[in-house]
């Protein structure tokens, strides 16, 4: 992961600046590019938290698209030789220039298939240049070949064209804007690097690309993933035909368990690709514990080689006495990891809220609740020298693991909600996981968001996903395996079958209680009613939501359209609007939302 900032303009000159993880294009002529160079570099520097290891630049003002590219790098693969922007000189003498935020996990395979390309580095990202140089008229072919988490911008100097794309799930954050009047575009990993003159800003859609030539008004976003051989699930969802979002009804359960286990194991293995120290986020819940367990098994069986360490380092955070800290230590003891258990105080969490809103660029309640401890944990992880971590994001969306899913009226609606949640991951869990960790220059990788895992798991029969009201039953059952001595091969039963705790709950039940109480003290009922009316787009439904919204507006005015709210399906029986898992009646320590409000 890195930071990318790009500045570009058509019809009279474009400047493009990049910082790995973000791409921006801002209005200006070629003369203005040089005049504004220092100012533009400052926008790139706003992303240096994403890429603290090195900076690189490229500029060209001699074409119809004048361009300045700046790359802020976090080095994970080929740390000494893989600096960006990457440049390939075509036979015509023109240049292809690439900046990437992310990782291409199948880069070795692509290298073997593109041996005639003159590779200059061992960077996984350079394969994008190799593929593009051979398929310049068919970007679909380039993108279908990539297995990874990425967003990138590529400048084709021969064709005076800019290409940008984002991975199918939207794991790496990306925004874009355009100005039809002066012919400029902006593409950025984070909004903070976008100059204030751009007011038409949106999230770049996952699984899509743009090719821009001559005029920004001609820019079109193309969906490549739904058309690819891997994109069946997304194609069904985007088609808008509810009848197409159906599940596979007839399967042998034991076959499903075995295949699910194999696919997830392969997903973990490919994400252990690194040239630097790495670790695992370990909450003690099912998803992160399984990822750790699989990784340890691969390491113990010598199926992967990792540098710098002979065991896996795991990290957990919580309030004093939190459920996650206790369970995470239990899992670490069982697996034999080198474990770090960090505690934070309620005041430290409250003090970090404004920084979290700044880095996350959201005012969504559940995202901020969960991001704050993750943001604090990433800072602790950075202090240990670890630069990359694996985590368990995505399982709940794909497998219907949130407790409100148990209230679905029927299997069809259950599966439809899996599709909706998975397609919106880039707005919530991916945004949280990417920006919380990258705030401190730590890259996150997410095995459950592997293309093959999603394609197989998302349309499994809901009855096997929620059998006997055990959320994610199929995943638990797939890894409920013992050895010849009857000992669990992956996790002990009390962890494997532990009820779902959303991260904001698991770090300690006092965390959400304190956030709600703090907001209730900040605003009277009359103040809340008056301030609520200020916001036409996404009006806050609670004092807590209003508190976050006011912070967001003070940092990112007029950019409210870039955010959505994470809300359970309140149209389902017995499902309330509070995103906390404890707000659902099936939770072992459920609380009454109304009673909770009256207590604070």
CA nearest neighbour of 393 among 419, 435, 438, 425? 425
Q: Tell me the three state secondary structure of residue 304.
A: coil
Q: What CA–CA distance (Å, rounded) separates 420 from 398?
A: 9
Q: Are 322 and 282 in contact (CB under 8 A)?
A: no
Could you tell me which residues come within 8 angstroms of residue 111 by beta carbon, excluding any fewer than 6 positions away?
Answer: 119, 127, 130
- Burial (Cβ within 10 Å: 0-12, 13-18, ≥19) of residue 375: buried
Q: Are 373 and 553 in contact (CB under 8 A)?
A: no
What six digits make up the tokens of 441? 């220059």
| pTM of the predicted model over 0.85 | yes
Which domains are present in the chain? Answer: 2-227 (3.60.20.10), 242-599 (3.40.50.620)
pLDDT attached to residue 13: 31
Three-state SS for 519? helix
Strands (E), 95-156: 95-104, 148-156
Q: Which residues are annotated as a binding site for ATP?
A: 281, 317, 391-392
Contacts of 48 (CB under 8 A, 6+ apart): 3, 19, 55, 72
**Judging by DSSP bridges, how do beta strands 443-445 and 388-390 pair with one another?**
parallel
Going by the annotation, the residues of the binding site for L-glutamine are 124
Q: Which of 2, 17, 20, 418 is catalytic?
A: 20
Note if 17 is an active site residue.
no
Mark the binding-site residues, compressed into ranges. Answer: 124, 281, 317, 391-392
pLDDT in tens for each of the 600 residues of the chain? 677 766 565 543 333 333 333 334 433 344 455 656 777 778 778 999 998 888 888 877 766 777 777 778 888 888 888 888 999 999 999 999 999 999 999 999 999 999 999 999 999 999 999 999 999 999 999 999 999 999 999 999 999 888 999 999 999 999 987 776 676 777 888 999 888 878 789 999 999 998 887 666 666 778 887 666 566 666 665 544 454 566 776 578 999 999 999 999 999 999 999 999 999 999 999 999 999 999 999 999 999 888 766 789 999 999 998 888 999 999 999 999 999 999 999 999 999 999 999 999 999 999 999 999 999 999 999 999 999 999 999 999 999 999 899 999 999 999 999 999 999 999 999 999 999 999 999 999 999 999 999 999 999 999 999 998 899 999 999 999 999 999 999 999 999 998 866 555 667 688 999 999 999 999 999 999 999 999 999 999 999 999 999 999 999 999 999 999 999 999 999 898 876 544 455 544 543 433 333 333
Buried b (16+ CB within 10 A) or exposed e, 420-433: ebbbbbbbbbbbbb
């Amino acid at each position: 992961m890195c930071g990318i900032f790009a500045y570009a303009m058509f019809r009279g000159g474009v400047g493009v600046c990049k910082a790995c993880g973000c791409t921006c294009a801002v209005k200006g002529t070629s003369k203005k590019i040089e005049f504004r160079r220092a100012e533009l570099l400052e926008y790139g520097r706003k992303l240096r938290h994403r890429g603290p290891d090195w900076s690189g630049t490229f500029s060209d003002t001699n074409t119809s698209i004048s361009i300045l590219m700046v790359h802020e790098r976090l080095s994970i693969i080929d740390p000494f030789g893989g600096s960006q922007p990457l440049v390939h000189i075509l036979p015509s003498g023109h240049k292809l220039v690439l900046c990437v935020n992310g990782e291409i996990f199948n880069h070795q395979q692509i290298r073997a298939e593109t041996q005639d390309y003159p590779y200059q580095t061992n960077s996984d990202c350079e394969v994008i240049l190799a593929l593009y140089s051979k398929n310049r008229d068919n970007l679909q072919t380039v993108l279908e070949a990539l297995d990874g988490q990425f967003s990138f911008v590529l400048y084709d100097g021969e064709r005076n064209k800019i290409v940008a794309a984002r991975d199918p799930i939207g794991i790496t954050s990306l925004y874009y804007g355009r100005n039809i009047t002066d012919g400029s575009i902006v593409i950025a990993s984070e909004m903070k690097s976008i100059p204030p003159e751009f007011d038409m800003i949106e999230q770049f859609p996952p699984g899509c690309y743009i090719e821009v030539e001559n005029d920004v008004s001609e820019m079109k976003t193309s969906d490549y993933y739904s058309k690819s051989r891997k994109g069946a699930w997304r194609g069904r969802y985007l088609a808008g035909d509810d009848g197409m979002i159906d599940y596979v009804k007839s399967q042998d359960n034991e076959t499903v368990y075995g295949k699910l286990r194999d696919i997830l194991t392969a997903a973990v293995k490919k994400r252990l690709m690194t040239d630097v120290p790495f670790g695992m986020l370990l909450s003690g819940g099912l998803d992160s514990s399984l990822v750790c367990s699989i990784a340890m098994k691969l390491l113990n069986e010598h199926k992967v080689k990792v540098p710098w360490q002979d065991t896996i380092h795991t990290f957990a955070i919580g309030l004093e006495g939190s459920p996650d800290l206790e369970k995470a230590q239990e899992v670490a003891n069982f697996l034999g990891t080198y474990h770090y258990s960090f505690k934070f105080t309620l005041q430290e969490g409250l003090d970090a809220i404004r920084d979290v809103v700044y880095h996350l660029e959201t005012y969504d309640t559940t995202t901020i609740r969960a991001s704050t401890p993750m943001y604090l944990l990433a800072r602790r992880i950075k202090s240990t020298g670890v630069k990359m971590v694996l985590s368990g994001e995505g399982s709940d969306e794909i497998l219907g693991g949130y407790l409100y899913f148990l209230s679905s009226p029927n299997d069809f609606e259950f599966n439809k909600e899996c599709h909706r949640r998975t397609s919106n991951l880039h707005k919530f869990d991916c945004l949280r996981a990417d920006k919380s960790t990258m705030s401190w220059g730590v890259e996150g990788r997410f095995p459950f968001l592997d293309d093959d895992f999603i394609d197989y798991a998302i349309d499994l029969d809901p009855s096997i996903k929620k059998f006997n009201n055990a959320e994610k039953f199929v995943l638990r059952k797939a890894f409920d395996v013992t050895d010849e001595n009857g000992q669990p091969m992956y996790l002990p039963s009390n962890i494997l079958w532990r009820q779902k705790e959303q991260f904001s709950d698991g770090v300690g039940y006092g965390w959400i209680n304190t956030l709600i109480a703090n907001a209730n003290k900040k605003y009277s009922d009359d103040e809340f009613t008056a301030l609520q009316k200020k916001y036409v787009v996404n009006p806050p439904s609670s004092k807590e939501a209003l508190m976050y919204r006011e912070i967001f507006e003070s940092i990112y005015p007029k950019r409210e359209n870039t955010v959505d709210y994470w809300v359970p399906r309140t149209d389902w029986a017995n499902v309330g609007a509070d995103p906390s898992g404890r707000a659902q009646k099936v939770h072992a320590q459920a609380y009454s939302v109304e009673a909770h409000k009256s207590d604070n």
